[in-house]
Chain A
Amino acid sequence: MNLVTNNKWIGQRTIRPDGMDKVTGRAQFAADMTMPGQIWGKILRSPHPHARIKSINTAKAEALPGVKAVVTSKDIVDFPIEKGAVMLGIQDMRWMCRNVMARDKALFPGHPLAAVAATTEAIAAEACKLIEVDYEVLPWSIEIEDAIKPDAPILHEFNKFDGKPSNIMGRLEHKKGDIAEGFKQADVVIERTFTTRPVHQGYIEPHACVISVAPDGKTTIWSSSQGQFMVRAMTAYLTGIPQSDIRAIPAEIGGGFGGKTIVYLEPLATLLAKKSGKPVKMVMTREEVMRATGPTSGSRSTVKIGARKDGTITAAHGIFYLQAGAFPGSPIRGAAGCSFTPYDIPNLLSEGFDVCSNRSKVAAYRAPGAPIGAYAVECVMDEVAEALKMDPLDFRLKNAAKEGTKAAHGPTFPRIGYIETVEAAKASPHYAAPLGTGQGGTLRGRGVASGFWFNAGGESSAQVNVTEDGNVVVTTGHPDIGGSRAGIANICAELLGIDYRRVSVIIGDTQTVGFSNLTGGSRVLFASAMVVTQSTEKVIQTLRERAAKIWKIDPEAVKWEQGAAHPVSPNAGQFEPLTLQELADKAPAMGGPIGAGVQLNTQGADGGFGTHICDVEVDTELGIARVIRYTAVQDVGRAIHPGYVEGQLQGGVAQGIGWALNEEYIYTKEGKVDNPGFLDYRMPVCSDLPMIDCIMVEVPNPKHPQGVKGVGEVPLVPVMAAVASAIYNALGIRFYSLPMSPPKISAALDAGMKQAAE
């Protein structure tokens, strides 16, 4: 469905510039690269959840024929804990250096202890087995409940909370008004506690890199990441090689969802390449990905909401405990800051607690923290609406945040599109459609939920260059994980008034394009469109000046339209238009190359809102819930390429359905991951899902040249609550823990039946 009709390319479903390579198998992902003479790297990983490393002896590994280099934590730059935080974006290098390789303690099963490079993968793996590690095995804890007990084994001895050694590494709060007073004014108060399990981003492409280091330290990194500049910076920090000597090239990336916003392999492969003098290739196995990268937090959230009879919310209190894993840094910011934000709540306290435990360090996962918090808040919203006998969407409208509302996390909202999403949901064909009856023994239900994510702007660089034959090459700085190149092509073509196929969009590396921040935060199109727009406008200015020079008139008298320079009016003179090709052809004689680059720390990103409707059908004998219909409504600002915007909505919904119904990390009694593969880590398959309908509401962002708002992360935020509320509607049972897997639903149904019989 095209929402914009008066644009040639913006809003059109053009063919993405990188599409041909991807449908023919030509696109080069990280593991597809080979460098001449390359050898293979493998990692030795801790078998223990928690252990002091007393000694590591690599002599036998080094002596194995075929082994060319061995790396231990001694080779990695240390960031001493006592010297304080060294921040790279949101990552503290003190934890990063310990995460890529354990220093004095192994903190989770799978924690790297050493790395080996050898002529074959098999030899490297064999060599790892020859490394002798003397462990002092320590007690461990994984679940939040266990990690915050008074006698819990402490991961980080330096840390104190409330004056005592603790695994609670930090707390944050947002406060507004006085919740005690607010709850007194409420006629209905509902308080519930929710738990969720760790879930993995689930990208199909394992982490991989191929790295070459010349004897003078000049380093070439080919890897899949959500930020080649992040790769460069982290590698520089951890190896000591200056950033200017590192060329980090972004391969096509096979999914990230936040999980590839940090590095695991690159610093190790760089050191192995440096020591061995040969390019080193490292590819994670699926098992390594599941055990030793960064699934998001498991959580325990308590949410209390109070409202008057007329439906006005008077107070809300949220306490969100999130697992950080081995090192501090769970996304409490997202949980505490986003979960209440769709609503105008006069009295609010939202608290987040960051809890370390012996599982792998969390990495970002699509609106980090917000889906966890929204599951809790939106489910309580559903219960409050029910207690008030209000339609759940009307209840949300009654309390909707709008322009002028002071948000939980601080800012006062400008014009936002939340209300529009609720109204569009209410007016949707889905909401009006009867649920229908399921066949034999199944029950159907419908649920709704809303959600918010901050979005981000941040640094971006771009260059727009006109080729000698009159076409355009745009170089941007962010890896493309969702189709952003397609959006950029649409924008540049629109501005220049040329066919979008004449615009080539590529992603530069750290040595060919200016600094650009991570691909994440739903920021790539927002930020790169800004700098591409400004660059293109500079190019257009140059083109007007060139035409003016040729026509011997003032540049102010030249306009650029439909791919050519024209006199502004007949008064300026009677001249035939000069096309882009003609001006390009004349460029050397008329002043030189036509191109421009812009680097900005882009501002003005607005948060995003979504409202979802979910229908489920539950097989009550077997406890299996299936989503049979789903509609995702979202304020997308402006859908530059509707197909790829819809794609973000549909992808986030699919991940949320998996999180709601089947995905979870399962641990053995020994504290190891019991399901480190796609067989038993159950992500939705094609037959599990219905078509996912999208309604894109466009409330353009006034601070952006095309009105763009970030869209990538909001789609995951409302899903689990929408599914849980739908199951409640079907069965009359509320689920306060995820996933709502068949044994859980079946047991709850049996318990319910027992209650009815009493």
Chain B
Amino acid sequence: MAKIHVTTTINGEPMEYLCEPSDTMLDALRGSLGLTGSKEGCSSGDCGACSITVDDRLICSCLMLAAEAEGAEIRTIEGMAHGERLHPLQQKFLEHAALQCGICTSGMLVASDALLRKNPNPSEEEVRFWLAGNLCRCTGYDKIVRAVMETAAEMRDGIKEAAQ
């Protein structure tokens, strides 16, 4: 059982790890890398709790092999805040009570961030369809959508600057 050695960049930091060929990126994040912020809800790409971005593309980390991270730029929930400075989305989620149990929150924030990077002025419908891959069972999505739209508006108005 020869393990694969992977060199990659995660949240701006160069990282290396060993993985089995069949390990998913989610396995690597939560296992050898100790980055447990991405969650495992289904392992079949249906819930979005494991969402990360790879080379700026939003994906489910349970649907990517850990070996594929070689040479890629990966961003996870752990990279959204900078020190004490929360990303505006994170702050808005808190203000809007847009989370209850919190298990979907990591994926929801990563997905919302990916949306706003692509489309800084989404309509409610666009937000809802973008987040359709992130299941939430607690909130009914209402406050999540409001938080995302209000963040988008404030970021457009330059009131809040996204953490780089």
Q: Do A254 and B101 touch (CB < 8 A)?
A: yes
Answer whether residue A653 sits at the interface, using C-beta atoms and an 8 A cutoff.
Answer: yes
Q: Do B137 and A257 touch (CB < 8 A)?
A: yes
Q: Do B138 and A19 touch (CB < 8 A)?
A: no
Segment of A26-34, A51-59, A323-331, A696-704 engaged in the interface with chain B: A26-34
Q: Do B37 and A654 touch (CB < 8 A)?
A: no
Cβ contacts under 8 Å, B136 to chain A: 204, 686
Segment of B2-10, B64-72, B102-110, B152-160 engaged in the interface with chain A: B102-110
Given contact pairs A25-B36, A29-B103, A481-B100, A255 touches B137 in the complex (Cβ within 8 A): yes
Answer whether residue B78 sits at the interface, using C-beta atoms and an 8 A cutoff.
Answer: yes
Given contact pairs A647-B100, A691-B142, A686 touches B134 in the complex (Cβ within 8 A): yes
| In the complex, number of A-B residue pairs with CB atoms less than 8 Å apart | 171
Cβ contacts under 8 Å, B142 to chain A: 650, 689, 691-692
Answer whether residue A546 sits at the interface, using C-beta atoms and an 8 A cutoff.
Answer: no
Segment of A184-192, A549-557, A613-621, A676-684 engaged in the interface with chain B: A676-684
Given contact pairs A16-B97, A19-B94, A24-B80, A254 touches B102 in the complex (Cβ within 8 A): yes
What's the nearest-Cβ distance from chain A to residue B6, in Å?
Answer: 19
The 8 Å CB contact of B78, one of A22, A25, A686, is A25
Q: Do B97 and A689 touch (CB < 8 A)?
A: no
Interface residues in B51-67 by Cβ distance below 8 A to A read: none
Answer whether residue A745 sits at the interface, using C-beta atoms and an 8 A cutoff.
Answer: no
Q: Do A654 and B141 touch (CB < 8 A)?
A: yes
Answer whether residue A437 sits at the interface, using C-beta atoms and an 8 A cutoff.
Answer: no
Answer whether residue A23 sits at the interface, using C-beta atoms and an 8 A cutoff.
Answer: yes
Q: Do B143 and A15 touch (CB < 8 A)?
A: no
Answer whether residue A629 sits at the interface, using C-beta atoms and an 8 A cutoff.
Answer: no
What's the nearest-Cβ distance from chain A to residue B102, in Å?
Answer: 3
Q: Do A691 and B145 touch (CB < 8 A)?
A: yes
Q: Do A27 and B102 touch (CB < 8 A)?
A: yes
Answer whether residue B13 sits at the interface, using C-beta atoms and an 8 A cutoff.
Answer: no
Q: Do A643 and B135 touch (CB < 8 A)?
A: no
Whole-angstrom CA separation of A69 from B139 in the bound complex: 41
Cβ contacts under 8 Å, B102 to chain A: 18, 21-23, 27, 252, 254
Q: Do B141 and A254 touch (CB < 8 A)?
A: no
In the complex, residue of chain B having the shortest beta-carbon distance to the beta carbon of A202:
B137
Answer whether residue B140 sits at the interface, using C-beta atoms and an 8 A cutoff.
Answer: yes
In the complex, residue of chain B having the shortest beta-carbon distance to the beta carbon of A13:
B97
Cβ contacts under 8 Å, B131 to chain A: 686-687
Q: Do B97 and A646 touch (CB < 8 A)?
A: yes
Whole-angstrom CA separation of A689 from B128 in the bound complex: 9
In the complex, residue of chain A having the shortest beta-carbon distance to the beta carbon of B105:
A22
In the complex, residue of chain B having the shortest beta-carbon distance to the beta carbon of A34:
B34
Q: Do A679 and B44 touch (CB < 8 A)?
A: yes
Whole-angstrom CA separation of A285 from B100 in the bound complex: 22
Cβ contacts under 8 Å, A684 to chain B: 140-141
Answer whether residue A432 sits at the interface, using C-beta atoms and an 8 A cutoff.
Answer: no
Interface residues in A10-49 by Cβ distance below 8 A to B read: 13, 15-16, 18-29, 31-32
Q: Do B145 and A686 touch (CB < 8 A)?
A: yes
What's the nearest-Cβ distance from chain B to residue A278, in Å?
Answer: 17
Interface residues in B67-102 by Cβ distance below 8 A to A read: 76-78, 80-81, 86, 90, 93-97, 99-102
Q: Mark A626-659, 1 if CB is under 8 A from B, else 0.
A: 0000000000000001011011001101110000
Which of A254, A285, A641 gathers most chain B CB within 10 Å? A254
Answer whether residue B161 sits at the interface, using C-beta atoms and an 8 A cutoff.
Answer: no
Cβ contacts under 8 Å, A22 to chain B: 99, 102, 105
Q: Do A686 and B101 touch (CB < 8 A)?
A: no
Q: Do A644 and B41 touch (CB < 8 A)?
A: no
Given contact pairs A650-B142, A677-B44, A255 touches B103 in the complex (Cβ within 8 A): yes
The number of chain A residues with a CB under 8 A from chain B is 57
Interface residues in B29-52 by Cβ distance below 8 A to A read: 30, 35-44, 46-47, 49
Whole-angstrom CA separation of A329 from B49 in the bound complex: 33
Given contact pairs A678-B47, A678-B135, A687-B128, A255 touches B93 in the complex (Cβ within 8 A): no
Q: Do A653 and B99 touch (CB < 8 A)?
A: no
Cβ contacts under 8 Å, A204 to chain B: 39, 41, 47, 49, 101, 103-104, 135-137
Q: Do A643 and B96 touch (CB < 8 A)?
A: yes
Which of A22, A252, A285 gathers most chain B CB within 10 Å? A22
Q: Do A24 and B39 touch (CB < 8 A)?
A: no
Cβ contacts under 8 Å, B49 to chain A: 204
Whole-angstrom CA separation of A699 from B79 in the bound complex: 45
Given contact pairs A205-B103, A679-B46, A687-B132, A647 touches B143 in the complex (Cβ within 8 A): yes
Answer whether residue B28 sits at the interface, using C-beta atoms and an 8 A cutoff.
Answer: no
Answer whether residue A306 sits at the interface, using C-beta atoms and an 8 A cutoff.
Answer: no
Q: Do B97 and A643 touch (CB < 8 A)?
A: yes
Cβ contacts under 8 Å, A29 to chain B: 39, 103
What's the nearest-Cβ distance from chain B to residue A625, in Å?
Answer: 17
Cβ contacts under 8 Å, B43 to chain A: 285-286
Whole-angstrom CA separation of A24 from B163 in the bound complex: 13
Given contact pairs A257-B137, A651-B137, A678-B44, A16 touches B37 in the complex (Cβ within 8 A): no
Q: Do B135 and A685 touch (CB < 8 A)?
A: yes
Q: Mark A222-243, 1 if CB is under 8 A from B, else 0.
A: 0000000000000000000000
Interface residues in A251-266 by Cβ distance below 8 A to B read: 252-257
What's the nearest-Cβ distance from chain B to residue A216, in Å?
Answer: 30
Q: Do B144 and A686 touch (CB < 8 A)?
A: yes
Q: Mark B96-134, 1 if CB is under 8 A from A, else 0.
A: 110111111110010000000000000001011101111
Q: Do A482 and B138 touch (CB < 8 A)?
A: yes
The 8 Å CB contact of A206, one of B38, B41, B100, B141, is B41
What's the nearest-Cβ distance from chain B to residue A226, in Å?
Answer: 11
The 8 Å CB contact of A286, one of B38, B41, B143, is B41
What's the nearest-Cβ distance from chain B to residue A317, in Å?
Answer: 34
Which of B30, B40, B47, B78 gathers most chain A CB within 10 Å? B40
Which of B94, B97, B136, B144 gathers most chain A CB within 10 Å? B97
Cβ contacts under 8 Å, A457 to chain B: none
Given contact pairs A286-B43, A687-B129, A16 touches B101 in the complex (Cβ within 8 A): no
Whole-angstrom CA separation of A692 from B76 in the bound complex: 30
Whole-angstrom CA separation of A475 from B31 in the bound complex: 31
Which of A21, A29, A255, A283 gathers most chain B CB within 10 Å? A255
Q: Do B145 and A254 touch (CB < 8 A)?
A: no
Whole-angstrom CA separation of A482 from B99 in the bound complex: 9
Whole-angstrom CA separation of A255 from B99 in the bound complex: 11
Cβ contacts under 8 Å, B96 to chain A: 643
Q: Do B41 and A692 touch (CB < 8 A)?
A: no
What's the nearest-Cβ distance from chain B to residue A719, in Å?
Answer: 11
In the complex, residue of chain B having the shortest beta-carbon distance to the beta carbon of A15:
B94
Q: Mark A714-735, 1 if CB is under 8 A from B, else 0.
A: 0000000000000000000000
The 8 Å CB contact of A19, one of B99, B127, B135, is B99
What's the nearest-Cβ distance from chain B to residue A297, in Å?
Answer: 19
Report, nearest first, the 4 A-B pairs whose CB atoms are least far apart. A25-B37, A254-B103, A643-B97, A22-B102
Query: B residues engaging A (CB < 8 A)?
Result: 30, 35-44, 46-47, 49, 76-78, 80-81, 86, 90, 93-97, 99-106, 109, 125, 127-129, 131-146
Q: Can you offer 12 A-B residue contacts whose CB atoms are under 8 A?
A: A23-B86, A23-B94, A24-B77, A203-B101, A204-B104, A254-B101, A255-B138, A283-B40, A641-B97, A647-B100, A655-B137, A686-B132
Query: A residues engaging B (CB < 8 A)?
Result: 13, 15-16, 18-29, 31-32, 201-206, 252-257, 283, 285-286, 481-483, 486, 641, 643-644, 646-647, 650-651, 653-655, 677-679, 683-687, 689, 691-692
Q: A646-B143, A677-B42 are in contact. List 19 more A-B contacts (CB 8 A).
A: A13-B95, A23-B86, A23-B102, A25-B36, A25-B106, A26-B37, A32-B36, A203-B103, A205-B41, A254-B103, A255-B103, A257-B137, A283-B40, A286-B44, A647-B97, A678-B42, A679-B44, A686-B136, A686-B145
